A and B are shown apart, each in its own frame.
Chain A
Amino acid sequence: MSGDDDRSDAAERAGDAGDPTPDGGSTHPAESPLAERARPADADAPTTGLSGPRPEERPHPTGRRDEHGVRKEPDQGPEPARRATVSALVEDEPGVLARAAGLFRRRQFNIESLTVGPTTVEGHSRITLVVEETEAGIDQAKKQLAKLTPVIAVGELSGDAVAAELVLLKVRGQEPDKVHAITSMYDGQTLDAGPRTITVQITGDENQIDDAIDAFDQFGIIEMARTGQTALERGDSPTTPGEEPGHSAADTDDDEFTNYDD
């Protein structure tokens, strides 16, 4: 097998099979096959394409991959999607939220909510994202997010993480007592009460918020604003890997956390 078989075919066809003789005078001598090669090729050389077995005459393996490039059995169904809460610790610089949001839009990740706010460490913010994707999609989302320069660490929250959301609901004020009862039932607060409208605030995890909204629906919800999920890992586990506990102004000297791993 000669490495330049493919390159020298035309030369050989044109009768240049022997070693080309270098002509010492030229700047690019040796293999320059121009004169010889500008001759008609073999009659059976194709003029409109290349020669070789046709597609159907070639051996074809039977294996297949799925849409994520994973090898699979032929009748395996599509990957199911799941919901993941992703937390990103980021440098608090201008545009960081736009970068994260832009990334998700550009790569068409299916994003359900995105919240952002400061942490206990000055100059750091936390972005909490809820995405609904296949396993591979979630993995990509986390990796792409981690690649952004201002992103310090990215973690996916476990099932028992604490998560909360806030909703403001403006409902019709005809039945203030009933509104008040339901507000207390959801440990909410009344922020504004007037003759025609009552505005309440409810916090809780996503299911509680959904339930509360259903409950208030009977009064007629005029306006609503939801923040989206924000979340922290439960207990001593850091929310993003390697995250150092920060020290807020309220910290005392006997802070028992020096490192989450302790």
Chain B
Amino acid sequence: MSEPATPGKASADADDEATDADATGRTDTEDETAERRREAATRAPGTGAGAVVAALEAAGVETAFGVQGGAIMPVYDALSASTVDHVTMAHEQGAVHAADAYGIVRGDPGVCLATSGPGATNLVTGIADASMDSDAMLALTGQVPSDMVGSDAFQETDTVGVTAPITKHNFFASDSDDVGRTVGEAFALAGTGRPGPTLVDLPKDVSFGQTDRPVGEPTPPKRSVPTPAADEEQVEAAADAIQRAERPLCLFGGGVIKGDATEEARAFAREFGIPVVTTMPGIGSFPEDDDLCLSWAGMHGTGYANMAITHTDCLIAVGTRFDDRLTGGVDTFAPEAEVVHVDIDPAEISKNVHADYPVIGDAATVIDQLDAAIGYGDAPDPEAWREQCAEWREEYPMDYAIDTDEPVRPEFVVEAFDAATDDDAYVTTGVGQHQMWAAQYWTFREPRTFVSSHGLGTMGYGLPAAIGARIAADDDRQVVSFEGDGSFLMTIQELSVAVREHLDITVVVLNNEYIGMVRQWQDAFFEGNHMASDYDWMPEFDTLAEAFGAKGFRIDDYDDVEDAVEAALAYDGPSVVDAHVDPEANVYPMVASGAANGLFALSEDQL
């Protein structure tokens, strides 16, 4: 099995070769990097702000994203003398999404900074987004001086209170001597076990205060470090169930990717010939051009994935939280399946779907355990089931008609970009129909290449995520962002950052002059009443891109596609393709909210 390494692993490989070139072109040997981190961990920081920065350096942070402001100024001042690069974003929402995507691509927590009050509240959407998708991220927010906290001072917000429900944990720094350790702990905690966003709120006096206490190595709180291996009895029981199954199905979620378990997951499915469906966050965990892969299941997943999940008798679910967009109504979800649920977070077990065989542990470790446990018995080869799945694939093709006299099909634009890019290109998206088409018609082969807002569904995610992904990724990997006209307009200001930083990204606006997903639902469920979904006042995105200093292209019909795709990808810098696509195009298949997966509609009259 030739497995392309995950990015996280790739950088470890690079370390082995004793070179580690980061986005800034700095080239350090492994020893130099380790030495720099040790120095940061042991030096006298001088001030609380110095300790914050030392903690970031000790954690190996290379890039942080943020926006300046009064309460965070001491930290920025200390950052100016740091090895941490800072990318100034146009809006804090840009900073938090960029940090999120950076973290996804790197496999290490992304870092963002904001000032108190409005700076902090502008981070909220992105923190909630990271929380829903279990993305490792550290947010640092300025706070008014401690003695003014609680007085409704200028730019004061109870950031810890506001973000408590949307962070894995958050901290209020109260002491200059401890703040560095706290930041290290928050960073480490974000990436430990089930990843998630953490936040440290930094009152200005704590940042200004003198301290010479070294920050030390970043270490998570002891209780937060889960045991990687699962209980052997749980493993045996699950292995037994898998061996008994006639119609086993692997369901790989985002946890497979976050847990760097793609290699193990792929080997497992292939060894036993078990068909695979993924969740949307799990896209890339299994190559979508593999015979065993049925792509993703759920609301807009493929018909064959939804058929398979409906008829399996043993669902081997790894790293998924059984979101309602996946399950539809739980009453009809995989109704005949015994569920084996592998997750590192015990609270996910039987939260939404009862696990007949809970297996708690790290995905990679547990899959290896399962593999070994099954290896001793003789696993039946589910050949008939694979044939059934193949038949469903024939019966429910992902398909669309092309008429060159009609407006361009959005699916076609996605496929054109897919064909013209490398297999390991990164795709980021906004939220809406375009996101679904990107997920459906792009063939993902590698983990961490589909960078999207899943659980929260945040419009405006795509462009800042492309910026974060671009900065995190190796130079030779392409970054394409699919946007809807509505989504793009939500964070379009970040184009200025892409231009300033000369980032080679390609933004593809699937412009239907609607907030299309809403229009699709209005057509299906609100008698076509297009209340507030008709966006025929959209700017010319190609021209607007030029105003920002980016390169603009436009697609009006099929004849434009090839040239625009080639030119946009060839352009070295940010480019925007304003693709005017069929405004009436809809996303199918579609499982209506709360319906049975097997009842997916193939057209509007089936809803």
Contacts and interface: CB of A to CB of B under 8 A. Distances in A.
B332 A3 contact: no
Interface stretch (A52-60, A160-168, A169-177, A200-208): A52-60
Interface residues of B, number: 86
Contact of A55 (B352, B397, B419, B600): B600
Most buried by B among A10, A40, A99, A152: A10
Nearest to A29: B420
B598 A149 contact: no
B569 A55 contact: no
B19 interface: no
B161 A98 contact: yes
Contacts of B327: 69
A102 B403 contact: no
A218 interface: no
A2 interface: yes
B307 interface: yes
A149 B224 CA distance: 7
Nearest to B168: A149
A196 interface: no
B368 interface: no
B346 A38 contact: no
A5 B397 contact: yes
Nearest to A31: B419
Contact of A45 (B165, B399, B443): B399
A32 B569 CA distance: 14
B164 A99 contact: yes
Nearest to A105: B165
A144 B347 contact: yes
A66 interface: yes
B420 to A, nearest CB: 4
Contact of B398 (A9, A28, A42): A9
A61 B565 CA distance: 45
Given A68-B354, A147-B347, A7 B396 contact: no
B604 A48 contact: yes
Nearest to A150: B169
B396 A50 contact: yes
A149 B221 contact: yes
Contact of B599 (A7, A55, A99, A149): A55
Interface in A1-46: 1-7, 9-10, 14, 26-28, 31-35, 37-42, 45-46
Contacts of B223: 149, 152
A38 B335 contact: no
Contacts of A144: 347
A6 B398 CA distance: 5
Given A32-B420, A60-B310, A68 B350 contact: yes
B302 A6 contact: yes
B558 interface: yes
Contacts of B43: none
B404 interface: yes
A19 B441 CA distance: 20
A181 interface: no
Contacts of B333: 65, 69
Contacts of B393: 1, 5-6
A63 B224 CA distance: 38
Contacts of A45: 399-401
A28 B415 contact: no
Interface stretch (B264-272, B287-295, B373-381, B450-458): B287-295
Interface string B373-416: 00000000000001100100111111111111000000010011
Interface string B167-197: 0110010000000000000000100000000
A40 B402 CA distance: 5
A159 to B, nearest CB: 23
B168 A102 contact: no
B443 A139 contact: no
Contacts of A139: 350
Nearest to B565: A34
B561 A34 contact: yes
Contacts of A66: 331
Interface string A119-146: 0000000000000000010011001101
Given A7-B415, A65-B333, A67-B331, A46 B399 contact: yes
Interface in B307-328: 307, 310-311, 322, 327
B295 A6 contact: yes
Most buried by A among B330, B331, B390, B399: B399
A171 B558 CA distance: 85
A28 B569 contact: yes
A117 interface: no
Contact of A28 (B289, B421, B602): B421
B165 A102 contact: yes
Contacts of B349: 143
Nearest to A59: B311
Contacts of B347: 140, 143-144, 146-147
Contacts of A27: 566, 569-570
A143 B350 CA distance: 11
B48 interface: no
B603 interface: yes
A70 interface: yes
B169 A149 contact: yes
B499 interface: no
Nearest to B327: A69
Given A1-B390, A34-B419, A38-B561, A65 B330 contact: yes
A206 to B, nearest CB: 29
The 3 A-B residue pairs whose C-beta atoms are closest, nearest first, are: A49-B603, A63-B335, A69-B353
Interface of B: 160-161, 164-165, 168-169, 172, 189, 221, 223-224, 287-293, 295, 302-303, 307, 310-311, 322, 327, 330-333, 335-336, 339, 345-347, 349-354, 386-387, 390, 393-404, 412, 415-416, 419-422, 441, 443, 558-559, 561-562, 565-566, 569-570, 586, 588-589, 596, 598-604, 606
Given A6-B398, A53-B395, A65-B335, 11 more contacts: A7-B415, A7-B443, A28-B420, A35-B562, A38-B561, A39-B404, A41-B403, A42-B401, A52-B395, A64-B331, A67-B331
19 contacts: A26-B566, A28-B421, A28-B422, A38-B558, A45-B401, A49-B586, A49-B601, A50-B602, A53-B395, A54-B606, A55-B601, A61-B335, A64-B331, A68-B354, A71-B336, A95-B172, A99-B164, A147-B347, A149-B223
Interface of A: 1-7, 9-10, 14, 26-28, 31-35, 37-42, 45-55, 58-71, 94-95, 98-99, 102-103, 106, 136, 139-140, 143-144, 146-149, 152
